[in-house]
């Protein structure tokens, strides 16, 4: 039985999992379309409205509606509702779509701290400058509650990792001494909301980032597949704290069609791993053995150790060959 057949819905991250900079990641579209399961797209990117995200998904060949998209901007507005009444003024650091969502929720979006906003909602906005962040800081110092859509410090892009919302939030935190509550991943609420939308009882989360996608899935009590197509690579997996460890590990989403037993940490590909001091020795393997097989072999040992291994030491030709590709 494939991993897909063990679940009734897919909860999918976007950046680094389904696409990168709007370009579909190899194997993602075909796998999702062939899955014949409800798919909900969960993104910490608060820059785009759900219908815009759905249109972009359609453009790369996926059958997605705006109701299939859960954004961190939506989650931030839901979280802020705990402190607000309809008609309350709010200051939004974010794109026009974020401000439109806040207005649609019944709040009065203001442009200055002088209008005494009850809350500051902050999402990633490429146009946000010193003046915008300063108004947010003034409002927070005047008593406004502070909600961030997410705290991702970076944003994957074909050119590399760009500055994320968490890095912009850090400037406001530095100026105010106030840490925001975060609505997006790794909070479990977004995952629960996504599963409820499609009535899923056994959803699987798929993501590329341990500190958001995988930690969020664990917080929601859901199994997860980590794919090596985005932010968190082999080394991050080896050093991952318990709350950031995925159930399954794969190169990309095509692994959804594989046996789940193979995708779990454990010896495979002819490799063996053992502890030597605080190092892990990776031995044996075959000429056809792969990097991901070696990684799963080492992870079983690494995650049983009290602290992260100091070194992964390949002591066979095949082990050295595959470890050379780890990042």
Q: To the nearest whole number, what is the mean pLDDT of the chain?
A: 96
Catalytic site includes residue 111: no
Burial of 50 (0-12, 13-18, 19+ CB in 10 A): buried
- What three-state secondary structure class fits 283? strand
Write the CB contacts of 304 (distance below 8 Å, at least 6 apart in sequence). Answer: none
List the one residue out of 6, 25, 22, 21 whose CA is nearest residue 207: 25
Domain spanning 265-323: CATH 3.30.300.290: yes
CA–CA distance from 224 to each of 70, 91, 189 (Å)?
18, 35, 15
Question: What does the domain layout of the chain look like in residue ranges?
Answer: 4-44+186-261, 73-180, 265-323
- Give the pLDDT of residue 22: 86
* Of the candidates 290, 313, 287, the residue with the CA atom closest to the CA atom of residue 302: 313
User: Among residues 13, 68, 208, 318, which one is catalytic?
Assistant: 13
d(CA 292, CA 119): 46
CB atoms within 10 A of CB 318: 21
Q: Is residue 265 over pLDDT 90?
A: yes
Q: Is 310 exposed, middle or buried (0-12, 13-18, 19+ CB in 10 A)?
A: exposed
Q: What is the model's pTM? A: 0.88
Query: Cβ(208)–Cβ(246) under 8 Å?
Result: no
SS (H, E, C) 2-61: CCHHHCCEEEECCECCCEECCEECCCHHHHHHHHCCCEEEEECCCCCCHHHHHHHHHHCC
**Same-fold call for 4-44+186-261 versus 73-180:** yes
Q: Residue 286: which pLDDT band, with cuts at 50, 70 and 90?
A: very high
pLDDT > 70 in the chain, percent: 100
The predicted-structure confidence for 198-209, as pLDDT tens digits, reads as follows 999 999 999 999
Second-level CATH architecture of 73-180: 3-Layer(aba) Sandwich (3.40)
Among the listed residues 15, 213, 252, 318, the single catalytic one is 15
The CATH topology of domain 4-44+186-261 is Rossmann fold (3.40.50)
Residue 292: per-residue pLDDT? 98
Residue among 177, 175, 207, 172 nearest 191 (CA): 207
CA pair distance 107, 89, nearest whole angstrom: 6
Known catalytic membership, residue 68: no
The whole-number pLDDT of residue 45 equals 85
Grade residue 185 by pLDDT with cuts at 50, 70 and 90. very high
In tens, the pLDDT along 136-184 reads: 999 999 999 999 999 989 887 888 889 999 999 999 999 999 999 998 9
């Amino acid at each position: 039985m494939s991993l897909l057949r063990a679940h009734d819905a897919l909860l999918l991250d976007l950046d680094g999992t389904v696409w990168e900079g709007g370009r579909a990641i190899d194997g993602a579209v075909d796998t999702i379309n062939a899955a014949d399961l409800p798919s909900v797209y969960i993104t910490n990117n608060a820059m785009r409205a759900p219908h815009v995200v759905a249109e972009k998904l359609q453009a790369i060949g996926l059958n997605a509606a705006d109701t299939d998209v859960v954004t961190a901007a939506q989650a931030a507005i839901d979280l802020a509702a705990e402190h607000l009444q309809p008609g309350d003024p709010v200051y939004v650091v974010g794109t026009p779509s974020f401000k439109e969502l806040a207005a649609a929720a019944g709040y009065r979006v203001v442009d200055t701290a002088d209008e005494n906003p009850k809350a500051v909602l902050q999402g990633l906005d490429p146009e946000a400058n010193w003046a915008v962040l300063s108004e947010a800081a003034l409002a927070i110092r005047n008593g406004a509650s502070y909600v961030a859509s997410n705290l991702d410090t970076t944003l994957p892009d074909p050119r590399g990792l760009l500055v994320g919302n968490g890095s912009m939030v850090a400037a406001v935190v530095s100026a105010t001494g106030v840490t925001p509550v975060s609505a997006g991943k790794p909070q479990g609420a977004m995952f629960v909301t996504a599963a409820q939308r499609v009535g899923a009882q056994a959803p699987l989360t798929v993501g590329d980032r341990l500190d958001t996608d995988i930690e969020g899935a664990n917080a929601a009590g859901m199994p997860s597949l980590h794919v090596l197509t985005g932010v968190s690579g082999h080394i991050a997996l080896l050093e991952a704290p318990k709350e950031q460890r995925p159930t399954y590990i794969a190169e990309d989403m095509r692994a959804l069609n594989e046996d789940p037993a193979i995708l779990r940490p454990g010896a495979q590909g002819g490799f063996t791993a053992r502890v030597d001091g605080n190092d892990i020795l990776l031995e044996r393997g075959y000429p056809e053995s792969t990097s991901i097989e070696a990684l799963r072999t080492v992870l079983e040992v690494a995650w049983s150790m009290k602290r992260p291994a100091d070194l992964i030491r390949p002591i066979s030709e095949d082990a050295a060959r595959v470890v050379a590709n780890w990042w």
